[in-house]
Chains A and B, each alone.
Chain A
Amino acid sequence: MFDFNEGNLNSIIEKSIKISLKYLSRIHQRVYKLLNVNEIQMRDLAVDAVSSLFISDGQDSLPIKKAFDNWQPAITTEEEFSFFLHKVVTNRTEQHISKVLKETDPPFNVILNSMNYLIKKNRYGKTKYFGAVYIIQNNSIRISGKVINLDEFDKIPAEYFKDEKNILKNIFTYLVNETNYFPAIPLNALILRYKEIKSTDYSFSEIINNPAEDYEFNDSIKNCLREVKEKLYNSYVIKNKLTEDEAGSLYKALEDMTEDLKDGGINPGLYEYLKPYFEGLSVEDYKAKYHNILEYLLKVMKINIIQEIQK
């Protein structure tokens, strides 16, 4: 089975796609509201994730073969190969999801970078367990007990997340002192929870009549939208690539996207954003006329938002 010849590859690829799809449907559809995808989009995500393991880059061997050759201890039995395949596919699927989250949700990316900095600074480690990345107290530790599930993670009191510099230390303290879970922090869940708490803080600051932070955040988004609007008109309307009506519709779609960005993230299907503003717009027409422009403007807007947030 673990010979990567053509005869075996079909079966390995089919097994991989089944693992990836099941992983996505059982873990991500439930957990990450950001990935509010339908079944077809879910299949596309799984195919994208798995195909990257089976496409060679130039003359190098297949990524899955490289992973196999580097696996320690070396794989010698069918059972070991089966475990290897599940690990590699769930890890790759999780990596792909993180990539999508980073692309669709700029604040997620900013918080991820901050968390990675804190991990390095405090000499914590990272490990993968059932595909997901967990922060552990040092790199020599292997998870050997029950880790906190995501429902329970969401119940950790908000005060443990508020001291940004000590957030990891505080959550480890909570896990060790207040629970029987193995001290390991799920990274993506941490980012989403942190983001949610920060966004609640913004609302709270409004209530206590101190809206400075909320104002700053919304103001940044408004600045980015204004820049994108200028680009839309200067690069497309003036050059007769789009009519004013078309540009207006694209701008409204981008406005809706910024609202979703504030609420958690953008749906990967950009067509859905434009459809309400173009009566009878077919998917084919959208792809032919507007997809590349909308995707480009969104990319510009996300880069601007990240720069604004990091100021």
Chain B
Amino acid sequence: MKISERDLFNFVFFRYLVEDEKVKYLETTDLFKEEIELLSSFKEAEAKELPPDLKIKLSKAIPYYKLSNVVELYPVTV
């Protein structure tokens, strides 16, 4: 069966777009395990919030990226 990169992507993100025959095949084969694991890891990462220091780094690198809800704390000597 011919399985394209798009089929694998849709299988992980938008399964309703994949033909039934291909869904059944992909559910039962280990052949594309690595690709499906990689795509699943993208999906998991999307749901997580970026750490504040990475957001700051992004805002310095990309002028269009606007910081929101990031509070920078500085050490205070008493």
With a 10 A CB-CB cut-off, give which of A82, A129, A143 has the most chain B CB atoms.
A82
Would you call B66 and A22 a contact (CB within 8 A)?
no
Residues of B within 8 A of A13 (CB): 58, 62, 64-65
Would you call A83 and B6 a contact (CB within 8 A)?
yes
- A39 to chain B minimum Cβ distance, whole angstroms, is 10
Would you call B13 and A82 a contact (CB within 8 A)?
yes
Residues 17-46 of chain A: 1 if any B CB is under 8 Å from the residue's CB, otherwise 0?
111011100110000000000000001100
- A93 to chain B minimum Cβ distance, whole angstroms, is 12
Confirm or deny: B46 has a beta carbon within 8 angstroms of a beta carbon on chain A: yes
Would you call A55 and B45 a contact (CB within 8 A)?
no
Bound: A22/B42 CA distance, A = 6
Would you call B65 and A9 a contact (CB within 8 A)?
yes
Residues 46-63 of chain B: 1 if any A CB is under 8 Å from the residue's CB, otherwise 0?
101010001101100111
Residues of A within 8 A of B3 (CB): 144-146
Question: Across the two chains, which residue of chain A brings its CB closest to B51?
Answer: A43
Residues of B within 8 A of A252 (CB): none
Those of B1-57 within 8 Å (CB) of chain A: 2-6, 9-10, 13-14, 17, 31-32, 34-35, 37-38, 41-42, 45-46, 48, 50, 54-55, 57
Would you call A26 and B62 a contact (CB within 8 A)?
no
Would you call B41 and A142 a contact (CB within 8 A)?
no
Confirm or deny: B77 has a beta carbon within 8 angstroms of a beta carbon on chain A: no
Confirm or deny: A6 has a beta carbon within 8 angstroms of a beta carbon on chain B: yes
Would you call B41 and A129 a contact (CB within 8 A)?
no
Confirm or deny: A285 has a beta carbon within 8 angstroms of a beta carbon on chain B: no
How many chain B residues have a CB neighbour from A under 8 Å? 33
- B50 to chain A minimum Cβ distance, whole angstroms, is 6
Confirm or deny: A257 has a beta carbon within 8 angstroms of a beta carbon on chain B: no
Would you call B63 and A55 a contact (CB within 8 A)?
yes
Would you call A143 and B4 a contact (CB within 8 A)?
yes
Confirm or deny: A86 has a beta carbon within 8 angstroms of a beta carbon on chain B: yes
With a 10 A CB-CB cut-off, give which of B5, B14, B55 has the most chain A CB atoms.
B5
Confirm or deny: A149 has a beta carbon within 8 angstroms of a beta carbon on chain B: yes
A contact patch SS = helix
Would you call A9 and B64 a contact (CB within 8 A)?
yes
The residue that A47 contacts in the complex, of B6, B14, B61, with Cβ under 8 A, is B61
- A41 to chain B minimum Cβ distance, whole angstroms, is 12
Bound: A57/B41 CA distance, A = 32
Q: Given A15-B46, A18-B50, A79-B17, does the pair A6, B64 have CB atoms closer than 8 Å?
A: yes
Would you call B57 and A43 a contact (CB within 8 A)?
yes
Would you call A22 and B41 a contact (CB within 8 A)?
yes
Confirm or deny: A117 has a beta carbon within 8 angstroms of a beta carbon on chain B: no
Question: Across the two chains, which residue of chain A brings its CB closest to B31?
Answer: A146
- A29 to chain B minimum Cβ distance, whole angstroms, is 13
Bound: A82/B43 CA distance, A = 11
- B45 to chain A minimum Cβ distance, whole angstroms, is 4
Those of A119-150 within 8 Å (CB) of chain B: 129-130, 142-146, 149
Would you call B34 and A149 a contact (CB within 8 A)?
yes
- B16 to chain A minimum Cβ distance, whole angstroms, is 9
Would you call B61 and A79 a contact (CB within 8 A)?
no
Confirm or deny: A292 has a beta carbon within 8 angstroms of a beta carbon on chain B: no
Could you write out 8 A-B pairs with CB less than 8 Å apart? A23-B42, A27-B38, A79-B13, A82-B13, A83-B6, A144-B3, A146-B32, A149-B34
Instruction: Give the top 9 A-B pairs by smallest Cβ distance, nearest first.
Output: A144-B2, A51-B61, A18-B45, A22-B45, A54-B62, A79-B14, A13-B65, A51-B62, A146-B31
